[in-house]
Structure 1
Amino acid sequence: MRNDSRLSRMLHVLLHMARHEGAMTSETIAAMLGTNPVVVRRTMAGLREAGYVRSEKGHGGGWAIAADLETVSLLDVHRAVGGPRIFAIGSEHSNPDCAVEAAVNEALA
């Protein structure tokens, strides 16, 4: 993932995770973002270290929300994913059919 789209992509992922029951695998998240599962795991590691998500191993494992997202700010997520340029926010690949992406992009605009 490019640094300038990491924040918006992780916001997108967090919102999908919040709406999803159970854990989401790196493979599922990677398919949603059009990237590699290894990239997802590296990026999610920062969110895990910050306490916003947790990783669950084994059958049915994956990534799950670990914090009340109502208390997490955009700056918190930005810091957790290591985005160097706070004002270079935007969607690299738009998906007009995704209501979550539309809401994220509208909030960021």
Structure 2
Amino acid sequence: MKHDSRLSSVLHALLHMADHDGPMTSEVLAQCLGTNPVVVRRTMGLLREAGLVTSDRGHAGGWRISADLSAVTLRQLHEALGEPAIFALGNRNERPQCLVEQSVNAALDGAFAEAEALLLERFEGITLATLADDFARRHKAWRFRKGETDA
């Protein structure tokens, strides 16, 4: 089963960008994500259309976050990506003639709609700032375990 991992990838890229001084090129972001720079440019283009990132051209150019991290929610990012399907599960046939399958679809559709609404509501409460703070905490703990100090 193929999963749409664009939201996870976008979050990964944006957190790298938030932790970096200055713009980041598509090539550098692609290395961070283990993907192709073309994929990064295509995805960042969607975020630019949503007003979340900007791009600078030229030798020192690249992508930078243009929105306040505390104002950007996972829900906004999901919408900027074109609202991909939340679940890989679905009905066998969307317009069945069989009454049994119609009953099955009605039950599944209701459950899927409720679950999706709940997940999107949760996405509304998670911001990039929340994730950036969690990353900073984890990074600090990792450095402490390695014996590094902030000098």
Give the match for residue 39 of structure 2: 39
TM-score (norm 2): 0.55
Give the match for residue 14 of structure 1: 14
**2:24–2:61 Cα contact (<8 Å) kept:** yes
Deviation at 1:82, TM superposition (A): 2.2
Task: Give aligned-pair identity as a percent.
Answer: 62
Q: Which has the higher helix share?
A: 2
1:30-84 deviation per Cα after TM superposition (whole angstroms, max 9, x unaligned):
1111111011100000100111100000111000010101101101001112241
Q: What SS does the corresponding residue of 1:84 show, helix, strand or coil?
A: coil
Structure with larger RCO (C-alpha < 8 A, sep 6+): 1
Runs of 4+ in 1 over 4 A off after TM superposition: none
Structure 2 alignment gaps of length 5 or more = 89-133, 139-151
Number of residue-to-residue matches in the alignment? 90
Alignment-mate amino acid for residue 82 of structure 1: G
Give the match for residue 73 of structure 1: 73
**1:17–1:64 Cα contact (<8 Å) kept:** yes
Distance of 1:87 and 1:3 partners within structure 2: 9
Deviation at 1:22, TM superposition (A): 0.3
Structure 1 alignment gaps of length 5 or more = 89-98, 104-109
**2:26–2:62 Cα contact (<8 Å) kept:** yes
Give the match for residue 27 of structure 2: 27
Q: Which entry has the higher C-alpha Rg, 1 or 2? A: 2
